[in-house]
Structure 1
Amino acid sequence: MKRITSIILISATACLDGCNMFLPVDPLVPQVSEVTLVGVLTNEVRVSAQVSDPDAKNSRQEKKSGKIQDFGFVYGILNEPTIENGYVEQGGQAIAASPFNWEDRITRLSPLEKYYIRAYAVNEGGGIIYGPVASFVTANYILPGIKTVSVSGVQQNAARVNYNIAMGNSNVIISDHGVCFSSTNQIPTVGDQKVQTTGASTTGNFTAELAQLTTGATYFARAYARTNGGVAYGNVLTFKVGEPAILQDTTFIMNFSNTYDLETGRLQSQNGTEDMYWYPYGQPAGIYPRNGAKFFVMPTGTDFKALKYSDLPGLKYTADFVNGSYTTKENKLFNGTVLAYVTNAGHFGKMRINSKGMERSEWDVYSGNMEVSITTFNND
């Protein structure tokens, strides 16, 4: 009897699990971000936002939610404006990709008036969704110039973001400034995570220390300054935690008997900043490290794209000549060879020999050249 009961219970459980695929699913509304105030003037405002499809749990829920049919901004002098009681500035009726970022210009506003604004989106099944409310006061505001300069000092769970604030002809008062960042929002706002920079100064160069980041995650960061005319933002920079920001990523041709700077990937005169000399006149073909730069030839078959920054620091670099002779067994620079390097400034990088061409000939001015791809990391 116990055996029969167990079989019945197991069968019933299996049936319930199998029947879950037939249970009804609820449609989901789209997702919209907070509004970014790009610029506020006497009778107009420039704003931007992001809209995306809902995070459906399965294909049936995705299908039931449907496509986005309408999105844009709704604004007015009442808090939490809606389509019914506010003004609508439509952004579009469909999105080319998800997430989708757009910017708009709203005109014919009253001067010295406080407005409330938020993004909205409508899809076929879920209905309408409104984003967080932002506010601004119209006037002849000129926001300061904000530039997110660089990302440095990237570690396993931390990074530094360097930025600059220039007032120029701005007529606003900065109340606070810093860096906002997110691993999900590609256009982060002060509504996301942020680090406020302390100190009385509101212009010049600043550094924000970002901590407690998730190892391996990609982050989007930009500087901001809150003012009485709205929030001013800088450009967005992207970095991956545990992997330093890329200082240079380029492909170029090394010409016969020339020196190069691997920080820039450019021809560099012999002034003490060059990292290498390629195939000097009268010398065997190859790489001659300069000014403390060092190289390491990776094993045959190393994938240049798959080689990560974390693979580079532990290698046994040397400042010795790297033989690239065309006709000797000592040649280490075949097409497809990957090298790791440390520049004379201490930055790690990787190089791929794309095409080494032909041995130098007086009859061919293009002989002795070599095309390479490099990636240099900003591991300061």
Structure 2
Amino acid sequence: MTPMTRLPPSAEHQHQSMESWRGFKGSLTTSILTTHQPMENKVQSVEGSEGELSDDPAPYIDRELINKPRWPEENFEPHETDVTKIRAVFHLKLTDGSGWYTQRDILPEQRQSAEEDEDNDHNTFFVPELTAYKVPQRPKAENGATYSPWTRVSTWRWKRTADDETEFWTPKFAFRRFHARTHKYEGIYVGETRIKNIEPNNKAWVSAYHKWIDQIKRRSDSSWVHEKRRDHWTVPEICAMYNGINEFVNTNGIDAYHGISNVSLQPTLDAINAAGNKNRGMDALRGQMSSAHELKNTSMAYLRENVRDLVKYLEDGGILDDEERFPEKFIPEEEFPTAPRGNARRLGNKNTSSG
């Protein structure tokens, strides 16, 4: 990797079918599948210059962007309803002539009033989050569980099953770095050589892909801290994390979990460190969120795999009532660990019945 390698937009954005929500949180599924409204009926009110409400469904579509593309392969467009966001597409022709790699991301817009720091030492963050798209580790087999290899289900998507459980993985090959305070777009890192011959079942390929991500993090991520040993999370820390996620979802809605910011996660991280008497960083918390799987923390894994589709459903005019969108306890009590962490993987499959 060269310093300031191109940090690209995310891979081809693929939406899981809303059918993946069927049977999960029963009443939630029923509402999603039966109350969908056509896009033309969706109108968002926005205050105009004189304080009056405007019915323009895309009030910011023509605004001039502050953050600009850094690569010819990048295309930025204003988010139509949120002045703080940018819709980005990275479209790269593959060197072997086999086609194109496309990655779509929602990026932060630079804050107009933000002043530059006087020195070069400042906090940064990445979109997408660097470690969130590593190939998930296979959990240790419990009770004779059998695991299938990764199988390709679409151009940029793989799945793996363990008995009746299925997890998905979508690689990303473009990561953008931003100034944490001003949200200024600082650079893009593109793993052009990693796109070739993607094989999540091949240890050599997985190792090279992970080393590339780790190298970016080690050299360019201000939050990177060398970990000399693996520090397993304790039961109080896990419970604090679950409580924090439940509180966030109850306050902001299930859909807000998609793209949750470090600022929003900070209270949860503070509670985790207070419960465990540790000093864990934000990357440790996001690592727990991104590595969630059905055998360890079922509801978090379901959020990770399905919340993107819920967001699209709502953007397209879908409706959820408040009880479904703002559940009091999305992660139920029965998923909270009560024994040492090593036994947490013995939790049963998620109950798909309603109630």
Question: Normalising by the residue count of structure 2, what TM-score does the alignment of the two structures yield?
Answer: 0.22
Structure number with larger C-alpha Rg:
1
In proportion to residue count, which structure has more strand? 1
Question: Normalising by the residue count of structure 1, what TM-score does the alignment of the two structures yield?
Answer: 0.21
Q: Greater relative contact order: 1 or 2 (C-alpha under 8 angstroms, separation 6 or more)?
A: 2
In proportion to residue count, which structure has more helix? 2
